[in-house]
Every structure is written in C-alpha cells, then in structure tokens.
Amino acid sequence: MAIVAADVAEVEALKAVLGHTAMGATWTLKLFTNNVTPGESDTASTYTEATGFGYVAKTLTGSSWTVATASGTTSGTYAQQTWTFTGALGNVYGYFYVRADTGVLMSAERFSDGPYNIANNGDQISITPTLQLA
C-alpha cells in the first residue's frame, strides 16, 4: 500500500511553499496498532499508537533526510529505523508521521505484508522512511 498524505499535511506544505509558515519541523515516526486503512481525511487521532513492550516513537531530524531527484521523482530518504520489542505487543498494522511540534498528522502507511504480530521478546520491526513527490 502507498503512503497516504493527509489533507492537513497538504495544507501545511502549501503554506510552507508560499512562505506563509515555516515547514522545517521535526517529524516523529510512530507505529499504529488499530486495523485502519490510511485515508486523506485522517488526523493523528485516527491511529492508535503502540505502547509498552519497549516501544518508543522515533524522532526524525530534518537535516538527516537525504533528498534527491531521479527520473522526475523527488525522494526523501531517512536511515532505517528499528524497534526491538521486549514482549507481546500484538498486531502492528503500519506507521504514521506527525509533526513533533504540533502533533499534526503528515502521512501514514499500512504494511502491505502485515500486520506484524509482535509476540516475543526480541521481535523487531524495521522501516526505512521514504517520501516521494512525482
């Protein structure tokens, strides 16, 4: 499944392009545990963030993204992020990004081969954050 940009994120991006607001916010990467398919009208409250069993949201520093254009597609890529769990968290359906300063939902993606059932100490989920504009 493709990453879905939330409508509220499109507003944030347009404001930044127009110089209306600064967009240089730090993003936070979170895992969600509710069985939901991302949609453009979602908000951060649409998603139930994972809790416990060693889970901690990941802060993605703006200057650490690598941005490049190839064949007309511009991509931002961040180093792989891995969660190692300490117990039976249950099903994880996907991940979502929020602005760290406001909590506004930026985008979400459901795992195409999920959900991943976190059942044991040492189970892991790894994600390489990537956003594309065509």
pLDDT digits (tens, 9 = 90+) for 73-120: 878 889 999 999 999 999 999 999 998 888 999 899 999 999 999 999
The two tokens of residue 38 are 């991302």
More confident residue, 122 or 69: 122
Domain boundaries, the chain: 4-133
Asked whether the predicted pLDDT for residue 1 surpasses 60, the reply is: no
- 75: Cβ contacts below 8 Å, ≥ 6 apart: 67, 68, 69, 130, 131, 132, 133
Q: What is the pTM for the complete model shown?
A: 0.87
Give the pLDDT score at 32: 98
The least confident of 30-34, 46-50, 130-134 is: 130-134
Question: Mean pLDDT across the stretch 18-40?
Answer: 84
Cα distances (Å, whole numbers) of residue 109 to 4, 13, 30, 63, 120: 6, 19, 11, 23, 24
- Which is it for strands 124-127 and 81-84: parallel, antiparallel or unpaired? antiparallel
pLDDT digits (tens, 9 = 90+) for 17-27: 555 566 667 89
DSSP string, the chain: ---EE-HHHHHHHHHHHTTSS---PPEEEEEE-S-----TT--GGGS-B--STT---EEE-GGG-EEEEETTEEEEE---EEEE-SS--EEE-EEEEEETTT--EEEEEE-TT--EEE-STT-EEEE--EEEE-
Q: How confident is the model at residue 132 (pLDDT cuts 50, 70, 90)?
A: confident
User: How far is residue 110's CA from residue 3's CA, in Å, rounded to a whole number?
Assistant: 8
More confident residue, 53 or 10: 53
- 123: Cβ contacts below 8 Å, ≥ 6 apart: 84, 85, 89, 116
